[in-house]
Chain A
Amino acid sequence: MKGPLPAMISLRGVTLVYPNGVRALDNVNLQIEKGEFVFLVGDSGTGKSSLLRLLYREARCTTGEIVVDGIRVDRLRRKRVPALRRHLGVVFQDFKLLIDKTVWENVAFAMQVTGAHTRDVMRQVPRVLDLVGLSHKSRMYPGELSGGEQQRAAIARALVNNPKILLCDEPTGNLDPANTTEITALLQRINLKGTTVVVATHNQAVVDRMRRRVVRLHDGRITADEERGYYYLGLGQSQVLSG
């Protein structure tokens, strides 16, 4: 292999076969540059989540080569996984907030458990809470927040360690249209600050409104990869609907 790859995320010939024999990903090749905003689209069970899981090393690919921010994730030893994850922010459909901690504590938690200095926690947490617009609710518990606010708290937590990459797995899956718009705008704002953002979604409206790079997965294979794409290949259905 010659030198490190320039791409922020790079997959070459990646195949993932689960122990039960299901072939989740089949010879996937994908390059994502620094600062890109990419949608991974496709029906449920087509491998979107599996692909993200490979990137933050929740799963290991069966064959192929994965590089994330210069780290060979496919060869990464278990001991080195925490170091990789500190470079990544991950956001989920179900927020994964701790219900017995306040918004502030949830966000600070991500720094505290990675051994951050208290001084840095005190500086960084207000900054990300301000970025996601939750400063005024930092003392509230997740149960007292709307879905959109909970997701914003989760995004703040994902961003608090200054990751270069933000991975989102169906971030708007549990949200109503208004909150979906709000979260999408937030993700875009984060991307504008230089963070590489990868969003797995099957929300057609979001994808079609944003007109960013769209990578379409079907049965574990990439079937389309378009700059400024639509949810459906070359077809602006939502444009028709929304005018």
Chain B
Amino acid sequence: MDSGKVKFFLGEVLRNFSRNTGMQVTAIGTVAITIVLLGLFLFVRAALADIGNRLLDQIEVSAYLHTDVTPAQVTAIAHFLAEDPRIASAQFVPKKQALAELRARTKGTIDTALLTENPLPDKFRIKTREPDDVPAVAASVRRLTGVENVVYGQKIVQRLLQLGAVLRRIGIAVIVVFFAVAGIIISNTIRLTVFARRREIAIMQLVGATGTYIRLPFICEGLLAGIIGALIAVGLLAVARAALWPRLLEALPWAQLTVMPVDARLFGAELVAVGAGIGVVASWISVGRHLRT
């Protein structure tokens, strides 16, 4: 490799990059803002999803059995539950145990000693692998002979599942909009730098530089702007996290935010990659449009 060539090329990129400071600052700022918003958004989404999943994880399906259920029927039900791949665990709770649990749970509030007989039915306590499967599993269990009633937090589960779906959709829409805005602004910035260097480009074309060679410095500039902007954004996000995370834990104890819902290092790397991607794509499009004759 000819080191003089590389030096010339990098020199040109850096010279142009530093010459159009105002424009580059605009581009870098835009990328930074976009990435900060994107980062915050993804983080909030991940945190909400995390809380939602935790709540959903706690949800179990209780299948109450008829009082006159036969041991054969119980075995059949247990067998059926063990076969279903959606079910993570199914535990048989006989009425004695249920009463003992009730006593333990209501200690001091209700005097269960008043009860002359056990009013509770036998039941199965079922946990699904995926929260999404809860309604379907409940429905199929209800159809079994010997099952009197099936109870789970219907409303909560449905709300949470709906919320998750809505969040996903809004998330995609918001991200698309962010990207479009950032892309347009960077593309405009690059167009200004292309315009500022139209003499240079004209001369390059005149002496027979290839289209790729003419484009490359602009693409590199876009890449550089994208990476710098993203690094600034990641820095801001890291500072914000360090400052706000402990307070967030304090403010929302019920959310049980014990750990970060995302791997910070991986997340940062992804954001930088996204910034670089925006820079390259936007500059590619913009330069291409200008060079077309």
Interface residues of A (CB under 8 A from B): 56, 78-79, 81-86, 90, 96, 98, 100, 109-110, 112-115, 117-119, 121, 157, 161
Contact = CB atoms under 8 A, between A and B. Distances in A.
A110 B209 CA distance: 8
Contact of B208 (A79, A85, A98, A100): A85
Nearest to B213: A113
B206 A56 contact: yes
Nearest to A116: B5
Contacts of B207: 85-86, 109-110, 113-114, 157, 161
Given A109-B203, A113-B213, A115-B213, A86 B208 contact: yes
Nearest to A82: B208
A229 B206 CA distance: 31
B191 to A, nearest CB: 20
B202 A96 contact: yes
Nearest to A90: B206
B105 interface: no
Contacts of B209: 82, 113-114
Nearest to A86: B208
Given A115-B5, A115-B213, A85 B203 contact: no
Interface string B201-234: 0111111111101100000000000000000000
A82 B5 contact: no
A83 B210 CA distance: 8
A98 B199 CA distance: 7
A118 B5 contact: yes
B8 interface: yes
B2 interface: yes
15 contacts: A78-B293, A79-B211, A82-B208, A82-B209, A82-B210, A85-B205, A86-B208, A90-B206, A96-B203, A96-B206, A98-B203, A113-B204, A113-B213, A115-B213, A157-B207
A81 B292 CA distance: 13
A56 B293 CA distance: 14
Interface string B1-36: 011110010000000000100000000000000000
A56 B199 CA distance: 17
A171 to B, nearest CB: 15
Contacts of B293: 78
A81 B209 CA distance: 9
B200 interface: yes
A112 B8 contact: yes
B210 A117 contact: no
Contacts of A81: 208
Interface string B64-88: 0000000000000000000000000
Contacts of B19: 100
Given A96-B199, A96-B203, A98-B199, A117 B208 contact: no
Given A85-B206, A118-B2, A157-B207, 8 more contacts: A82-B210, A85-B205, A85-B207, A86-B207, A96-B199, A113-B204, A115-B213, A121-B4
Q: Which 8 A-B pairs have CB atoms at the shortest separation, nearest pair first?
A: A118-B4, A85-B208, A86-B208, A113-B209, A110-B207, A82-B208, A113-B204, A82-B210
A157 B203 CA distance: 10
Nearest to A108: B8
A81 B4 CA distance: 26
Nearest to B210: A82
Nearest to B217: A113
A100 B5 CA distance: 20
Given A78-B293, A86-B208, A96-B206, A117 B2 contact: yes
A117 B214 CA distance: 17
Contacts of B214: 113
Contacts of B208: 81-86, 114, 161
A110 B3 CA distance: 18
Contacts of A110: 203, 207
A78 B19 CA distance: 31
